[in-house]
């Protein structure tokens, strides 16, 4: 068992992989020729900066999520510098949409082309399915437990992208050396996220009363909302 303290990003990027955009009803189900998929790419701040416009687009999407005030605890307007420091503090993954993949695909079992090839000349707005970071949730002796933060652009919500991203996270996080994962604040009214983590075998470690002062969906003001703490032990997989 590794006793390494996790700090910063992994020195070696993990291979890009392909994931079904919507989870098949039966394990190992074939991907039809017209089915959508997502390729997942492990990036550092340096490699992301080498892709013109990508970080700026991701920063804009995250800034809008913060302004919406319904899923993240941040409240102050987010600068590009603050986004880069927050999102690329350790390991970051970006999903790119694809379709008509003519192969029998098992989630994560096929290596994707590089991110530019998967992008295939599209704008980032057209191509990005979402992204997430992975970083230690605690310091030093507890840094083997990770945390993640997800962003799905509004245009990709309800398409299965969030499910594919979350399944890829459970694939990649142990390969980065983490033994388990904690989500500190999954607001109870974020039912899509709650269902995703429950389906992936995360357990509710606790409920924090009035954990977030969030904006109401109907735009009539703010309200205090409870949050779940979710946990998963990767060593039991």
* Each residue's pLDDT tens digit, 176-229: 999 999 999 999 999 999 999 999 999 999 999 999 999 998 999 999 999 999
Question: What pLDDT score does 26 carry?
Answer: 36
Question: What pLDDT score does 101 carry?
Answer: 62
Beta partners for residue 187, in sequence order: 227
Instruction: Establish if 55 belongs to a structural domain.
Output: yes
Instruction: Establish if 226 belongs to a structural domain.
Output: no
CATH number, domain of 154, equals: 3.40.630.30
Question: What pLDDT score does 98 carry?
Answer: 87
Instruction: Establish if 28 belongs to a structural domain.
Output: yes
Question: What pLDDT score does 104 carry?
Answer: 67
Question: What pLDDT score does 183 carry?
Answer: 97
Question: What pLDDT score does 27 carry?
Answer: 36
Task: Identify whether the C-beta of residue 119 lies closer than 8 Å to the C-beta of residue 99.
Answer: no
Question: What pLDDT score does 30 carry?
Answer: 42
pTM: 0.89
Domains identified in the chain, total number: 1
Question: What pLDDT score does 71 carry?
Answer: 93
Question: What pLDDT score does 3 carry?
Answer: 55
Positions in the chain whose pLDDT score sits under 50: 1, 23-34
Report the side by side order of strands in the sheet with 145-151.
17-20, 36-43, 91-99, 128-136, 145-151, 180-187, 222-233, 203-215
Reduced to 3 states, what is the DSSP secondary structure of residue 20?
Answer: strand
Instruction: Establish if 205 belongs to a structural domain.
Output: no
Instruction: Establish if 192 belongs to a structural domain.
Output: no
Instruction: Establish if 197 belongs to a structural domain.
Output: no
Question: What pLDDT score does 221 carry?
Answer: 96
CA dihedral 148, 200, 229, 205 (to 10 degrees): -140
Question: What pLDDT score does 212 carry?
Answer: 97
Question: What pLDDT score does 187 carry?
Answer: 97
Question: What pLDDT score does 32 carry?
Answer: 40
Print the domain residue range for 23. Answer: 17-179
Instruction: Establish if 229 belongs to a structural domain.
Output: no
Question: What pLDDT score does 1 carry?
Answer: 44
């Amino acid at each position: 068992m590794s006793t390494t303290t996790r700090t910063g990003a992994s020195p070696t990027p993990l291979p890009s992989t392909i994931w079904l955009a919507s989870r098949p009803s039966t394990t190992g189900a074939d991907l039809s020729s017209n089915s959508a998929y997502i390729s997942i790419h492990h990036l550092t701040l340096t490699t992301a900066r080498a892709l013109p416009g990508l970080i700026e687009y991701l920063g804009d999407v995250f800034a809008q999520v913060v302004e919406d005030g319904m899923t993240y605890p941040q409240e102050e307007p987010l600068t590009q510098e603050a986004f880069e420091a927050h999102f690329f503090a350790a390991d970051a993954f970006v999903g790119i949409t694809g379709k008509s993949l003519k192969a029998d695909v098992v989630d994560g079992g096929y290596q994707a082309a590089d991110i530019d090839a998967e992008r295939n000349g599209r704008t980032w707005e057209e191509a990005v399915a979402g992204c997430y970071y992975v970083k230690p949730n605690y310091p030093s002796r507890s840094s083997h437990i990770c945390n993640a933060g997800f962003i799905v652009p509004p245009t990709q919500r309800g398409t299965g992208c969030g499910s594919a991203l979350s399944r890829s996270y459970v694939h990649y996080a142990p390969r980065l050396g983490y033994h388990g994962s904690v989500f500190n604040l999954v607001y109870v009214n974020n039912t899509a996220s709650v269902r995703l983590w429950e389906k992936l075998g995360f357990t509710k470690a606790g409920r924090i009363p009035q954990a977030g002062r969030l904006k109401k969906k109907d735009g009539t003001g703010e309200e205090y909302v409870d949050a779940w703490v979710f946990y998963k032990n990767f060593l039991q997989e």
